[in-house]
Structure 1
Amino acid sequence: MKKHVLTGLAIALIFTACNNNNKPQEGSSSVVTSPAFMEYSVVNVFPHDTSSYTEGLLVHNNELYESTGREGFSKIAQVDLSTGKAVREHYIDKAVFGEGIVIFDNKIYQLTYRSNKVFVYDLKDFKKIAEYPWPGEGWSLTHDGKSLIASTGTSELQYLDPNTLQVQKKLPVTDENGPVNNINELEYVDGFIYSNQFLTNNILKINAETGKVVAKADLTDIFAHGGKVYKPALLPDPNEDVLNGIAYDSARGSFLVTGKQWPYLFEIKFR
């Protein structure tokens, strides 16, 4: 009788061990984790032109560049950070809604919202030197030193050949709940893509290899962060004039962020 009990016990232990071996191990790729929470601090505040419906923001060679949207108001500009005023600017066709920009190989690439075009300008004088067709909507651009990276408002990022704008690959963006939509303004930094998520106050940190959202910052309280209140002028449309625009300043080791028609541009550091 004892022999049968021991035999049954042994079988049960073996069965349990096999089941345990089939379970996902901690740290394995099967374990789905939520993005980490990114805290931030505001280290400086600069003026921002409230007529600028910000679509793209970047720092290149210690100079700030911005692109804006809305038909009749769309432009690319080099901006004086200390004053918020344009040093030089170029308005595009009044019928076109301009979107995000990136600077690559001394050229400025600019997406358009629904005009199915990408404009390319010479960085030194803002003269248009090329135009490419673009299928669907264009939202934002950045680059990783080899490819342009575009967002189209979906949950996918597109890697593009800078010379032809042909799609090299598509990268789905996901978190613990699945696909993450409304990926907007982009900034590539050291293997990660930082992105505004349109119609939210979130900045996402995305692994550029896997597409996983590894961290998230909520900037809802940025106008009153750290106990100091920056009273904004009444935004024309609080539902539209949302957080949008993120640029990494390598010289400062910080990010510059703003929103559509916001009166301020904030310099922040993530912790």
Structure 2
Amino acid sequence: MKNRLLAISITFLFAACVNNQPKAENTTASETLPAFMEYTVLNVYPHDTTSYTEGLLVHNNELFESTGREGFSKFAQIDLTTGKPIREHYIDKSIFGEGIAIFDNKIFQLTYRSNKIFVYDLKDFKKIAEYPWPGEGWAMTHDGKSLIASNGTSNLQYLDPNTLQLQKTLSVTDQNGPVNNINELEYVDGFIYANQFLTNNILKINAESGRVVAKADLTDIFAHGGKVFNPDQLPDLHEDVLNGIAYDSARGNFLITGKQWPYLFEVKFR
């Protein structure tokens, strides 16, 4: 009997000790903070200050840019060293052009509020097709299989590049929930890099889950790179916001610019 009472007492004592231990923190995916993504400016190139940048990409070692605003919207192949167009195509003056993607030797171009996607032949920039687009168009990239488009919300649309039909929707989230104003997109090795419009942040998004896994703050980018900038040539970052992300696979670096910025930065993220 004494042995049974002793065993019971030890059991209760052990349970009490366990209950008094600090509880393990219940960490869930929704509470995980994005990592801070540092960057280094490697080179600084000129950029046309009349370009209201909506999209930026590198295709076959060639730089392409699309610009917005009615009457000024175009896409062009750009000489990186001079910032000047090698060839360019202006669209209808009534249309506000948005982001572009190059896939299967075609240029796909979103429009802001015209509810259209234009398709051009990469070789001669001639328009070959036009598709309806519901709502606003902001930015576009591709993952080698699907076009990926943003409309300014927290959702990314995956599109069939042959029919432009919706395949799936990916919701972008962080520890606080949905992340809105997802803009300018670049797909790299399973991740989507995106500018969050009206911020100086670039987000690194897991392309499978939609989770923001890292974030870079480029507010001070004009103070980097070892270049002395003329203060009179610096943009107002409240109006001429960051809005250009292109991955150069040959160098393993990114090219970064913004709306009407005088410079384009070659950047390595860490």
Q: Which range moves more in the overlay, 30-39 or 59-68?
A: 30-39
Q: How many residue pairs were aligned? A: 266
Q: What residue number does 2:10 align with?
A: 6
Cα RMSD over matched residues? 2.2
Q: What residue number does 1:204 align with?
A: 203
CA distance in 1, matches of 2:129, 2:31: 44
After TM superposition, the structure 1 = structure 2 runs for residues 51-200 of structure 1, keeping only pairs within 5 Å, are 51-200=50-199
Identity of aligned residues (%): 77
Question: Residues 233 and 103 of structure 1: is their aligned pair in 2 closer, same or farther, counting only changes over 3 Å?
Answer: farther
Query: How far did residue 228 of structure 1 move?
Result: 3.8
CA distance in 2, matches of 1:37, 1:268: 15
Letter in 2 for 1:89: E
Query: How far did residue 211 of structure 1 move?
Result: 0.5
After TM superposition, the structure 1 = structure 2 runs for residues 201-240 of structure 1, keeping only pairs within 5 Å, are 201-226=200-225, 228-231=227-230, 233-234=232-233, 238-240=237-239
CA distance in 2, matches of 1:248, 1:113: 24
TM superposition score normalised by structure 2:
0.92
CA distance in 1, matches of 2:183, 2:30: 27
Q: Deviations over 1:105-161 (max 9, x none)?
A: 000000000000000000000000000000000000000000000011111111110
Query: How far did residue 15 of structure 1 move?
Result: 6.8
Query: How far did residue 251 of structure 1 move?
Result: 0.8
Runs (5+) with no aligned partner, structure 2: none
TM superposition score normalised by structure 1:
0.91
CA distance in 2, matches of 1:104, 1:31: 34
Conserved? CA contact 2:30–2:175, under 8 Å:
no
CA distance in 2, matches of 1:76, 1:233: 27
Conserved? CA contact 2:68–2:98, under 8 Å:
yes
CA distance in 1, matches of 2:135, 2:173: 22
Runs (5+) with no aligned partner, structure 1: none
Query: How far did residue 235 of structure 1 move?
Result: 6.1
Conserved? CA contact 1:232–1:263, under 8 Å:
no
Conserved? CA contact 1:223–1:231, under 8 Å:
no
CA distance in 2, matches of 1:161, 1:52: 30
Conserved? CA contact 1:235–1:241, under 8 Å:
no
Query: How far did residue 225 of structure 1 move?
Result: 1.2
CA distance in 2, matches of 1:31, 1:195: 20
Question: Residues 7 and 44 of structure 1: is their aligned pair in 2 closer, same or farther, counting only changes over 3 Å?
Answer: closer
CA distance in 2, matches of 1:171, 1:16: 43
Letter in 2 for 1:77: A
Q: Deviations over 1:20-39 (max 9, x none)?
A: 69x74x7xx55621111111
Conserved? CA contact 2:42–2:225, under 8 Å:
no
Question: Residues 123 and 86 of structure 1: is their aligned pair in 2 closer, same or farther, counting only changes over 3 Å?
Answer: same
CA distance in 2, matches of 1:87, 1:30: 46
CA distance in 1, matches of 2:220, 2:53: 19
Conserved? CA contact 1:235–1:261, under 8 Å:
no
CA distance in 2, matches of 1:99, 1:176: 29
Q: What residue number does 2:247 align with?
A: 248
